Chains A and B, each alone.
Chain A
Amino acid sequence: MKIPPVEPGTVGPCPVAPDALQGIKRQQTNPARWNGAGWQDFVAELRASGVELAEGAAACGVYATDAGGTAYGQPHGVVLARSAGQVSLLLKAAQAHRVPVTVRGGGLTTEGESVAFGGVLLDMSGMSRVLGVDAAALTVRTEAGIYWHALAEELRRENLDYLSAPLNLTSSVGGTLGVGGIDVNSARLGCSADQAISLQVVTPTGEIVECSDSENAELFQRVIFGYGQFGVITEATLRVRPYTPLAMHYYYYSSLRTAIEDLQMLDRNDASDYSGILTIMDCAVNLLVAFDSDEREAAFRKNWESRLRGHGEFGFALCMAGHYALRPWKLGEALYLLQRKQAVFPEFRRPEYMRDGKMHDRTVVFSRAVWKHWGSRQMVIPDLATSADKFIEAVERGNAICRQYFTHYTLYCVGIKLRPEHKPHYEMSCVPPDAEGWAYGCEFEPMIEGGIYSRDHFQAFKNAIYDVGLDLGASYYRFGGMMKGYIRRVFGDALVDRHLAMKRRADPALILNRDVIF
């Protein structure tokens, strides 16, 4: 049978009927394995130019899946990144032989974006050195394959800290700059990608280019939040700040809506340095507020604390005791809450990280807690990113979907301060087009707790969450990979086709991360 080829990035014809699968684009979102045409010639050229490439099951099997654990793929070969020059040679050869290249940082994607369905997998973790710290100018130059926690460790020696990074020890700098990155201080400092001052990028055709808002600005705009479509980030200069320990405060709510309203109130008034919501259940919501300085903390206590409607730990425990005393049939739920409280709360107060009542090394504390008490073998975290005014509805609808699919789950909500001068960066990204001032993101994470579910079960859950985004005209913090079908639906064909045209100009053979967005 002759199967008509579908040009990558394009939406194929549908002979079924125009109204079949209403609204769903005719895109294969779970990619076909690349057929390996010309692989041997490519390998020969690569080896002749001195680029080391590992082949075979042992080398490739390590990269079979990503943190999401629902997409599986095997590259034909793996290159461990060593230098921009080596990456350049790789991309030039790949472009000439039309071999797909998938770039992987920490592998923390959840929809298979860093899984190679054939071709070469470029593992950036080989480029993980800090190249220079300028304590006076408060900047750092680093190779992009470094993990944020390793960068934090280096910066601590200079009594410095990064501005914001994902609460995850093994996410890489390059990967984060390519997608956005959020932290509990994003409502004040913006998303992680906004802290990049300049980048060294290897373009899909192999040129090594330095870019920033003033130099090669168009490339800079496309690479930041670019989901790896317009180049491989090999080095980055980032803003940093003096290191400070955190004074943490926790407020507890039984209503998601009230907690979100209070979170947004704090963000609007710049009342805290860190803020975020983490739920145990939708009736046990924790609003986390933290400060870098005693002055900011004192101002908060004086002006804003009394306006929060949440309880302290003891007060909330009393409320919950009353709640469950009247509902004895919910004993299981009460026991779960108690067990989670006993397991999770001490993690945030571990004595080795607390001094004078303040938390040190928040990266480690949060990341450790996240992996230990929320993470599992599979990170199934669909999310929604909306403007401030749509956020409550998005969270409430997403919460209702979580209830349908899983017994226990957690929600993680933060605000993201937007920088008006970065608007060009934000086009077709996790920042919703209608957001002004702040965008808000919510991750919906089921507690898998050793359970084994089919991929279809997870996918149905994720699709239900993503459909809410479509309905509300939102965006997604993570988009791409297997959920790329939603990109055209949420942003519209015109915008996606414009970016596809830019992609074709930058990457004529469409080799770089080609299964991620288009």
Chain B
Amino acid sequence: MRSVDVVIVGASLAAAAAAKRTVDAGLETIVIERKELPRHKICSGILSPRGHRFLLENFGPLPRETLHEPTSCRGVTFHFPSMVSMPMDFFHGTTPHLHRKYSDHWAIQRSGAEVHDKTSFAGLEDKGDHVLVHARQNGEPVEYRARQVIGADGPSSLVVRAVYPDYTKQIPWFFVGQKFHEIIDCPLSPEYFHFWFHPGLGHYTWSHARDGRQIVGVGFKRGDNFAKKHAVVQQYLQDKHGVHLQPAGDDDEGCAENFGPSLINRYVFGKGNVLVTGQAAGFLNMIGEGMSCALHSGAISGEAIVEARLRNRPVQEMYRRMIASEVRRCSDQWNPLKIAFDRPHEADFPAALMELSWRDRAKVLRDMWRFVVLFKEFKWGRQIASAALQRPLLGGYSMQRWL
């Protein structure tokens, strides 16, 4: 059995950030990853400028291989059923369009951690002063003994299931899927990520250009039909925006998403010597950008382990106190009071709104409200209101709601 300081589950950006912190501090760190690296990962790839700066400062300039074409994204364009469109540029310029297969691999390599790929996490036992991690490597069982474990294995986290078996039943699950189309004619600007606030299209509808093709993506409550939903969106784009696309290629992809915890401050940060971070913990910025908060929360999980050792304090206590800043950043993006009176996002929505005529502003607000009503069934209203009020009163969001 290999005995190390830290085992990180998953070879994501959050894992790379966590590994960077623990390796820098001289802790022996192993990253275990189910697939062979470099591995494919479904993602829009549009990283926020804050995430880009983190990558640059911690891992260095991005190699060309880590980027799709177009290599950058200028901002986000919101589209509404009333056919009003609002382009918004990111603060501080354009931002990378990451090729997750290679960017994640690059970051993991740059972290300096030892990587065991083709190694599936199979369970863990927290023994108080160490954790036994069970895994399978090339079909053979392997075990690691670690002082701490970080779960950075994405929304359907096996680490979360190992620590909180019932958690997955407590939150609503969504499916996001994307199909890739050769372009006949596409008036949508390839410089922007396009998002539709349209209740008829689904909970999460987007499109952007990648490597000469157009992505059409849909997100909806799990259980619905991907092909049908996608067909509706494709037809809508053709009818309303003049987007003519070839039939989708056969490389469509999809995954389950845990959208919601950052909205209602219901994060899951682990238990005992097991920390959960990134999207596994529930971090997701508005418009589904999860990479920047994954990077920052991942780094904080690594810092918490280092600090806990130096101060001889329980690692969970350190992590929860340190992660509060990232919770504020992420949950602020969903906080209606922050959206109305502050600028929590990395693009200026209020300024873009003010550029519209009074009539269009009214249409946008009406359409947004109709879109929000789509989420009524999840009964989040009271929780969102409570979180929004906590922010000015407590200066942050209540830790009591975190698992």
B288 proximity list for chain A (CB < 8 A)? none
A57 lies within 8 A of chain B by Cβ = yes
Residue among B20, B62, B321 with most chain A CB within 10 A: B62
Q: Does B254 contact A (CB under 8 A)?
A: no
| Contact (Cβ within 8 A) A1 B65 | yes
**Would you call the interface of chain A mostly helix, strand, loop, or mixed?**
loop
Query: Are the CB atoms of A17 and B72 closer together than 8 Å?
Result: yes
Contact between B60 and A456, CB atoms less than 8 A apart: no
Q: Is the CB of A456 within 8 A of B306?
A: no
Residue-wise interface mask of A (432-464) relative to B, using a CB-CB cutoff of 8 A (1 in contact, 0 not)? 000000000000000000011111110010000
| Complex interface: chain B residues within 8 A of A29 (CB) | 57
Complex interface bits, A7-28 against B, C-beta within 8 A gives 1, otherwise 0: 0000011111101111110111
Contact of B303 among A14, A20, A23, A455 (CB under 8 A): A455
Q: Which residue of A is nearest B90, CB measured?
A: A20
B347 at the interface (CB under 8 A from A): no
Among B26, B53, B65, B109, which residue has its beta carbon within 8 angstroms of that of A21? B53
Chain B residues within 8 Å of A74, by CB = 24-26
Q: Are A455 and B72 in contact (CB under 8 A)?
A: no
A72 engages B24 (CB within 8 Å) = yes
> Quick check: B26 and A454 within 8 Å, CB to CB?
no
Q: Is the CB of B61 within 8 A of A28?
A: yes
Q: How far is the CB of A120 from chain B (nearest CB, A)?
A: 15
Chain A, residue nearest B320 (CB): A452
- For A6, give its contact among B58, B60, B93 (CB under 8 Å): B60
Q: B300 at the A/B interface (Cβ < 8 Å)?
A: yes
In the bound complex, CA of A272 to CA of B63 (Å) = 57
Q: Say yes or no for A61: interface residue by CB 8 A criterion.
A: yes
B61 touches A22 (CB 8 A): no
Is B112 among interface residues, defined by CB-CB distance under 8 A?
yes
Interface size on B, residues (CB 8 A): 49
In-complex Cβ contact of A32 among B56, B60, B65 (8 A): B60
Structural contact, A20 and B94, CB atoms closer than 8 A: yes
B193-201, B240-248, B265-273, B322-330 - the one binding chain A: B322-330
Q: Is the CB of B25 within 8 A of A64?
A: yes
Judged by a CB distance under 8 angstroms, whether B59 is at the interface is yes
From residue A66, how far is it (CB to closest CB) to chain B in Å?
A: 13
Q: How many A-B residue pairs have CB under 8 A?
A: 131
Are B26's CB and A3's CB within 8 A? no
A13-B61, A15-B62, A21-B92 as given contacts; A32 in contact with B112, CB under 8 Å: yes
Question: Given the complex of chains A and B, what is the CA–CA distance between A457 and B329 in angstroms?
Answer: 10
A29 vs B94: C-alpha distance in the bound complex, in angstroms? 21
Residue among B94, B95, B318, B326 with most chain A CB within 10 A: B94
Q: In the bound complex, what is the Cα–Cα distance between A21 and B73 (angstroms)?
A: 12
Which of B64, B102, B110, B326 meets A454, CB within 8 Å? B326
Q: A32-B112, A72-B21 in contact; A15/B67 too (CB < 8 A)?
A: yes
Assess the A6–B94 pair: CB atoms within 8 A: no
CB pair B112–A64 under 8 Å, yes or no, is no
Query: How far is the CB of A219 from the nearest CB of chain B, in Å?
Result: 32
Q: Are B67 and A16 in contact (CB under 8 A)?
A: yes
Binary per-residue interface labels of chain B (43-60) against chain A in the complex, 1 for a CB within 8 Å, 0 otherwise: 000000100110011111
Q: Does A117 contact B (CB under 8 A)?
A: yes
User: Are A16 and B52 neighbours in the complex by a CB distance under 8 Å?
Assistant: yes
B-chain residues with CB within 8 Å of residue A258 when the two chains form the complex = none
Is A33 part of the contact surface with B, judged by Cβ < 8 Å? yes
Q: How far is the CA of A28 from the CA of B321 in the complex (A)?
A: 27
Contacting pair B24 A117 (CB below 8 A):
yes
Interface residue A182 (Cβ < 8 Å from any Cβ of B)? no
B105–A454 touching, CB < 8 Å: no
Asked if B325 and A4 sit within 8 Å, CB to CB, the answer is: no
Q: What are 26 pairs between A and B in contact, CB < 8 Å?
A: A1-B109, A3-B109, A12-B60, A15-B64, A16-B62, A20-B72, A21-B49, A26-B60, A27-B57, A28-B56, A28-B57, A28-B59, A30-B57, A32-B59, A32-B112, A61-B26, A72-B21, A72-B25, A74-B25, A117-B24, A377-B311, A452-B322, A453-B321, A453-B325, A454-B324, A456-B299
Could you tell me which B residues sit within 8 Å of A by CB distance? 20-21, 23-26, 38, 49, 52-53, 56-65, 67, 71-72, 92-96, 102, 105-106, 109-110, 112, 296, 299-300, 303, 306-307, 310-311, 318, 321-326
Q: Which 3 A-B pairs have the closest CB atoms?
A: A74-B26, A17-B72, A12-B61
A-B contact sample (13 more), CB < 8 A, given A20-B93, A32-B112:
A13-B61, A17-B72, A17-B94, A20-B49, A26-B61, A27-B56, A28-B61, A30-B58, A64-B25, A117-B24, A454-B296, A454-B299, A454-B325
